[in-house]
Structure 1
Amino acid sequence: MKTKITEVEKTISTTDITHFEEQTNRSLPENLKQLFLKYNGGVIEKTEEEYDFFSIKYGDLKMEDMINTLQVVEQIIPEEYLPFANSPVGHIITFSLSDDDSSGKIFLFRHDDLEPILISNSLEEFLGVSSINDF
Structure 2
Amino acid sequence: MNYYFSTITKGSFETIEAKVISLLKAEGFGVLTEINMQQTLKNKMNIDFKKYKILGACNPLFAYKALQVENKIGSMLPCNIIVQETSPNSIEVSAVNPMVTMQAVKNEKLNEVAKTVSIKLKNIIENINNEN
Using the size of structure 2 for normalisation, the TM-score is 0.31
Report which of the two structures shows the higher radius of gyration computed on alpha carbons.
2
Higher helix share: 2
